[in-house]
Amino acid sequence: VACYLAVKTKENLAILPLAMLLFEYFYLARKNDRTGGIKAKLVYFTPFFLPPLFATWQRLITPLNRGISLQDVANIQEVGITPIQYLVTEFNVIWIYLKLLFVPYPQMLDYAYPVTKTLLTFQNLVAFAGLVALMSAAFLVRKRYPHLCFGIYWFLLGLAVESTLIPLDPVFEHRLYLSMFGFAVFIVGAGHYFLSRRVIIPLALCCLFIWSSLTWSRNQMWNSELGLYMDNAKHVTPDDGFYIALSKSMIVTKFYPDAIEVLTEAIENGARKIGVYVNLAIAYRLNKQPEKAIESINAAFTKGFRNTDLKIELARSYNLANNHEKAVETYNSALKDGLRVNLISKDLGMMLAAMGQFVDAEPYLEYALKNRPDDNELRTPLAQAKIEKGEMDAAEKLLRQVLESEPNNKVAWFRLGLVGHKSGDEKTFQKALKRLYKLDGEQAEKLEALASE
């Protein structure tokens, strides 16, 4: 059960039964029982192999049998990567991981590491030969230096799931978490075998000081997502994915001109991911430059980039530019795609409501509210639509739902007062009016003026 839960929590723990066998061989089995005994214990370990096999069948084999591509199963954006190309790439990546264990600088969130398309290159052959030599050396010293052998094999075993045949992002530092146990055993073993205590203590203190300083520095960097990406940019040649992530961080922190500059550079460098164009449109729109946003999206359309997110941004930009007719037309075009329907319905409904076309907005607001029942922002304009159609009970219900969670919502109190007036419910009207005088005297006077007409 524990093994099954471990694998369901993190797929790279599929190697757990092999790790148990490795630990058993080096540290639990008797010296004279390491060959025959381990075979006998396979029966004991067999149940631990079932959860990884089941997870592999469920998460990999079954989707592939249904015709889902390996790229979709692995959830990677770059298409056309074969398992062999990824494996050969990882021969080089493993040496990056080894370097990081000994010298953990620079550390990066996004390495923008390319997947090799040519298999038989000198670099790939050297990387593969180096790994074979490392494993062979570990095997040869397994009896004399068991801690070193165990550490090397554990390190490689910890990367077996994510750094072999399933195409993922080539480099991710967090993949080392499991493998670092093997590295720790290797370091302790090396000190035990080759160094005297007089050397070990000052060396350990020196390493502790250096690594602690780097850890502190890294944690400070992680406090700022934008700072993290800016530091990252110093050490890599950015690709489209990096530009998208960096610009998103800039947009979140409201550095819109910087995001525009970064994304414009990406497009000039021949960006091929549609997210670059989407983020550029968002940055222009939020920087109050809707015309530029429209221009950038139309340029993307000209280049053959066309998806629902671009249409949504185009509609939002038309709305900001007060070209409401084109905004409605673009939103309706996006709805036909059948994607992001909830978001589009809310956007379109809220835009029509802002234009005072509450009845026209009603079907979009109702659809959005059905799928977002906790979104009170939808209820107040929808209630106004009900008021204009004379459906006072429905309007009152919507407004009271808003006021349950937002008792100081001035718009809801104003419209509830309107419901009370139009339905002849003097008690509701007076309660809303009294509350409005406490929250916003101007709105209260406006409601009173409407009631006296």
Encode pLDDT of 186-228 as tens digits: 999 999 999 998 999 999 999 889 888 888 888 887 788 888 8
pLDDT bucket at 39, cuts 50 / 70 / 90: low
SS3 68: coil
Sign of dihedral through CA atoms 374, 375, 379, 382? Answer: negative
Specify the residue for token string 């409401």: 324
- What is the mean pLDDT of the segment spanning 28-38? 61
CA–CA distance from 179 to each of 7, 112, 298 (Å)? 16, 22, 48
Tens digits of residue pLDDT in 93-111: 999 999 999 988 888 888 8
Report d(CA 161, CA 12) in Å as an integer: 5
Which two tokens mark 272?
A: 């091929």
Q: Which of 404, 403, 420 is nearest to 412 (CA)?
A: 403
pLDDT score of 239: 86
Q: Which of 415, 421, 410 is nearest to 398 (CA)?
A: 415
Q: Is the pLDDT of residue 37 over 80?
A: no
Specify the residue for token string 């979104």: 375
pLDDT score of 38: 57
What value does the CA radius of gyration of the chain take, rounded to a whole number of Å? 31
Same CATH topology for 224-306 and 391-452: the answer is: yes
pLDDT score of 106: 86
- What is the mean pLDDT of the segment spanning 110-136? 94
- Cα angle 184, 189, 191 (rounded to 5 degrees) comes to 100
Q: Is the pLDDT of residue 31 over 80?
A: no
- Please state, for a pLDDT cut of 70, what percent of the chain lies above it: 95
Domain ranges (residues) in the chain: 1-68, 83-223, 224-306, 391-452
Which CATH architecture group holds 224-306?
Alpha Horseshoe (1.25)
Report d(CA 158, CA 161) in Å as an integer: 7
CATH topology for 391-452 is: 1.25.40
pLDDT score of 4: 82
pLDDT score of 75: 57
